[in-house]
Amino acid sequence: MFSFPARTQAGCRRSFPSHLRHTIPTHPLVAFLVLILQPLVAEPASRPNIVVIMADDMGYECLSANGSESYSTPNIDRIAAGGMRFEHAYSQPICTPTRVQIMTGIYNQRNYVKFGLLEPNQKTFAHFLRKAGYKTCIAGKWQLLGGIKGPDHFGFDEFCLWQLTRRPSRYPNPGLEINGKEVDFTKGEYGPDIASDFLCNYMEKQATSDGPFLVWYPMILPHWPFEPTPASPDYDPKAKGVMKGTGDPKYFKDMVEYTDRIVGKIDAKLGELGIRENTLLIFTGDNGTATQVTSRWNGRSVQGGKGNTTDFGHHVPMVASWPGTIKPGQVTKELVDFSDVLPTLVETAGSKLPDDHKIDGRSFLGLLTGDEKYEPRKSIYCWYARNGGPTGKEFARNQRFKLYRTGEIFDISKDDLEKHNLAGKPDAVPAETLAMLKSVLDEMQDTRVMLPDPSRKVKPSGNEKPAAKKKNAKKKDASPD
Ligand SMILES: [Ca+2]
């Protein structure tokens, strides 16, 4: 475990508009004038608030708008109908690789170290939006190390998180970290209720103050342990929370539907505050559904594929709503991957990345707003290794075909479980498509960067023998979160 040093002059940082921070004058009179003129240089009201909600382990097949026959998600469906629903949005196959990619806009082979860690030198969308004058908040699940200072280090002003400094119950009677303090709940509270209420209170506070806000809500739901929700008949307010095992998924339906209820609560709160039309709301999922779960979807039974590179591992729901800006009733077949979220948020905020900050993603704001100049992606790329290391599973794909580094190629439109390798069958794959996907892989060849792991103890130089591996080390590292 490592932690970050406390930030200095936090109060000063909050007192100045972010775009003036690097130009705060030293002469007392000039500094005074800057302070009194501050309202005149406030951020334009047209810059929207941004709320990004990401469910945990809720694959594409879980949304009724996407064809789910097992779950009912009326709130997310309604939000989708009021804006844009994506049929081809792709995450990474599991939690931390996705979090690193969505928060940094960079493909995993360039900055992924290991499971449960966001490398401390990385810049997140919260950094860039904070710099652009946004207030920033995170609630939900952390799992990125960094200690109690981690959220601030990665750009968040306020937080209400599970698994920041410890790993207690996440559902009934949870243990959370809230704005710098560990808080243990004991009166039957439900973790996802606390996190979402925190966000609603935060949005209410910000709605009456100057400047737009960013809310990043990597939800706790509907990840295992599969436990009753407060809407389940057998919710036990005295339960301590399940800590071991993956559990029977019999409550997964309740958990998905509670996820939908919470998304509806956030959406309703924005409406109640009168800021819905000035808020871009995105809902998505971090990876496929847990493998213990089988769902009915578009007339067939499908097993969750979390951790796999098939569609059931990384094809996720995504909807975006911004009334008055995104036309309602749109369903897009354009490709989006999670490296695209950061540049989209930065452009939405009216800001730009520094020229020397290279990312892999590209903004899809133009897709959302119907900009004629928007150029759709022809492909997306994935480098995936759950536990890091020098090599990962790699592929490039478009909506239909997926080409792996191994040369295997599949027609996902007919074969989403990837059972029929089409390599060497020239009639099965258009030559142009094969060449395009191959060029993406060629471009990414040997681009792995092995960043040091800051959580490893630094050993003194010399001829010491490496520490013997603990017997249960591998098992411990294989946390299914
Ligand atoms: Ca997950």
Q: For residue range 421-468, list pLDDT tens digits in order.
A: 999 998 999 999 999 999 999 999 999 999 999 988 655 444 444 444
Q: What average pLDDT does range 242-249 have in this prediction?
A: 81
Query: Could you give the number of structural domains in the chain?
Result: 2
> Measured in Å, how far apart are the chain's first and last C-alpha atoms?
18
* Residue 46: per-residue pLDDT: 72
Dist. CA 450 → ligand 1 center (Å)? 24
Q: Are the CB atoms for 97 and 327 separated by under 8 Å?
A: no
Write the pLDDT tens digit of every residue in 274-300.
999 999 999 999 999 999 999 999 999
Q: Would you say residue 477 has pLDDT above 80?
A: no
Task: Give the residue ranges of DSSP H helices in 359-428.
Answer: 365-369
Q: Would you say residue 44 has pLDDT above 90?
A: no
Write the pLDDT tens digit of every residue in 146-186.
999 999 999 999 999 999 999 999 999 999 999 999 999 99
* Residue 117: per-residue pLDDT: 97
Same domain, 418 and 337: no
Q: What average pLDDT does range 45-49 have in this prediction?
A: 81
According to DSSP, residue 409 is labeled E
Same domain, 333 and 422: no
Share of the chain above pLDDT 70, in %: 85
Task: Give the residue ranges of DSSP H helices in 148-235.
Answer: 150-153, 191-207
Dist. CA 86 → ligand 1 center (Å)? 19
Dist. CA 256 → ligand 1 center (Å)? 13
* Residue 469: per-residue pLDDT: 47
Is residue 37 situated within a structural domain? Answer: no
Is residue 170 situated within a structural domain? Answer: yes
Dist. CA 212 → ligand 1 center (Å)? 29
Closest to 13 in 3D by CA, of 217, 199, 155: 155
Is residue 351 situated within a structural domain? Answer: yes
Token pair for 220:
């706790």
Write the pLDDT tens digit of every residue in 17-31.
333 333 334 455 544
Dist. CA 181 → ligand 1 center (Å)? 25
Is residue 226 situated within a structural domain? Answer: yes
Distance, in Å, from the CA atom of 361 to the CA atom of 343, rounded to the nearest integer, reads 6
Residue located via tokens 């069958």: 425
Dist. CA 55 → ligand 1 center (Å)? 8
Dist. CA 224 → ligand 1 center (Å)? 10
Residue 418 structural domain: 390-444
Q: Would you say residue 10 has pLDDT above 60?
A: no
Q: Which of 375, 398, 421 is the last residue of a domain?
A: 375
Distance, in Å, from the CA atom of 445 to the CA atom of 404, rounded to the nearest integer, reads 12
Same domain, 250 and 322: yes
Is residue 29 situated within a structural domain? Answer: no
Dist. CA 281 → ligand 1 center (Å)? 20
Dist. CA 117 → ligand 1 center (Å)? 14
Is residue 396 situated within a structural domain? Answer: yes
Dist. CA 447 → ligand 1 center (Å)? 26
Dist. CA 64 → ligand 1 center (Å)? 20
Dist. CA 173 → ligand 1 center (Å)? 21
Burial level of 93, CB count in 10 A (0-12/13-18/19+)? Answer: buried
- CATH code, 301: 3.40.720.10
Dist. CA 111 → ligand 1 center (Å)? 19
In the structure, ligand 1 is a single-atom ion and the residues with CB under 5 Å from it are 56-57, 95, 286-287
Dist. CA 54 → ligand 1 center (Å)? 9
* Residue 456: per-residue pLDDT: 83
Closest to 252 in 3D by CA, of 283, 210, 295, 214: 295
* Residue 385: per-residue pLDDT: 98
Q: What average pLDDT does range 132-145 have in this prediction?
A: 97
Same domain, 228 and 355: yes
Same domain, 337 and 404: no
Same domain, 364 and 395: no
Same domain, 306 and 420: no
* Residue 144: per-residue pLDDT: 96
* Residue 458: per-residue pLDDT: 54
Dist. CA 481 → ligand 1 center (Å)? 6
Dist. CA 261 → ligand 1 center (Å)? 19
Closest to 307 in 3D by CA, of 284, 319, 295, 290: 290
Dist. CA 465 → ligand 1 center (Å)? 37
Same domain, 353 and 440: no
Same domain, 370 and 411: no
Is residue 24 situated within a structural domain? Answer: no
Distance, in Å, from the CA atom of 442 to the CA atom of 145, rounded to the nearest integer, reads 34
Q: What average pLDDT does range 100-122 have in this prediction?
A: 98
Q: Would you say residue 89 has pLDDT above 90?
A: yes
Dist. CA 56 → ligand 1 center (Å)? 4
* Residue 464: per-residue pLDDT: 42
Same domain, 417 and 280: no
Tell whether the torsion through CA atoms of 269, 278, 66 and 304 is positive or negative.
negative
Same domain, 260 and 177: yes
Q: How confident is the model at residue 4 (pLDDT cuts 50, 70, 90)?
A: low
Closest to 348 in 3D by CA, of 210, 192, 160, 214: 214
The phi, psi pair for 311, rounded to 5°, reads -55, -35
Q: Would you say residue 376 has pLDDT above 70?
A: yes
Q: How confident is the model at residue 88 (pLDDT cuts 50, 70, 90)?
A: very high
Q: Which of 375, 400, 434 is the last residue of a domain?
A: 375
Q: Mean of the per-residue pLDDT values for the chain?
A: 89
pLDDT: which is higher, 340 or 22: 340
Give the Å distances, CA to CA, from 402 to 102, 115, 305, 397, 433.
21, 25, 16, 4, 10
Dist. CA 94 → ligand 1 center (Å)? 5
* Residue 18: per-residue pLDDT: 35
Same domain, 344 and 434: no
* Residue 359: per-residue pLDDT: 98
Token pair for 25:
């004058």
Is residue 462 situated within a structural domain? Answer: no
Closest to 212 in 3D by CA, of 366, 48, 399: 48
Q: What average pLDDT does range 364-381 have in this prediction?
A: 98
